[in-house]
Amino acid sequence: DSHAAVQYGHFSTSKLLLDRRGDPSLADDKSRSPLHAAARYGHLVTSNILIEAGAEKELRDCRGRSCMHLASENGHPASVSILADKGAEINARDDSGHTPLLLAVATVSL
């Protein structure tokens, strides 16, 4: 499926599935879209492909987290930058009130 292809960085497979199925924002059982997976795993090429195909940047998962939250929490500043450049909300709060910046700071190894 498209989520697994994105998770494992198979951007050519992701593009093929996207071309065949058409919905770049199709959510899984945790309400995460393929763009959530690309942001979580720092897959820049796939993020760009999904955004250009019309993927919704502000979809929230089952915890109220956006793609920006997942990129920040998992230490992917380049993904954060791409999302911000494409208009994703940088100050969004998840269901627990956390912003992407707070998650980034909380996960830094000291």
Which among 69, 87, 76 has a CA at the least distance from the CA of 33? 69
Q: Where are the beta strands (DSSP E) in the chain?
A: none
Q: Could you read off the pLDDT of 51-79 as tens digits, one per residue? A: 988 999 999 999 999 999 999 999 999 99
Q: What is the CA radius of gyration of the chain?
A: 13
* DSSP single-letter state for residue 72: H
CATH number at 40 reads 1.25.40.20
pLDDT at 110: 39
pLDDT at 64: 98
Domain span at residue 52 reads: 2-106
pLDDT at 72: 96
Which amino acid is located at 37 in the chain?
Answer: A
- The answer to whether 84 and 51 have CB atoms below 8 angstroms apart is no
Average pLDDT over residues 88-101: 96
What is the domain count for the chain? 1
On the question of pLDDT at 4 being above 70, the answer is: no
**How sure is the predictor about 107, in pLDDT bands with cuts at 50, 70 and 90?**
confident
Q: Could you read off the pLDDT of 11-50 as tens digits, one per residue? A: 565 565 556 666 777 777 888 899 999 999 999 998 998 8
Find the DSSP H helices in the chain.
Answer: 2-7, 11-21, 34-41, 44-52, 67-73, 77-85, 100-106
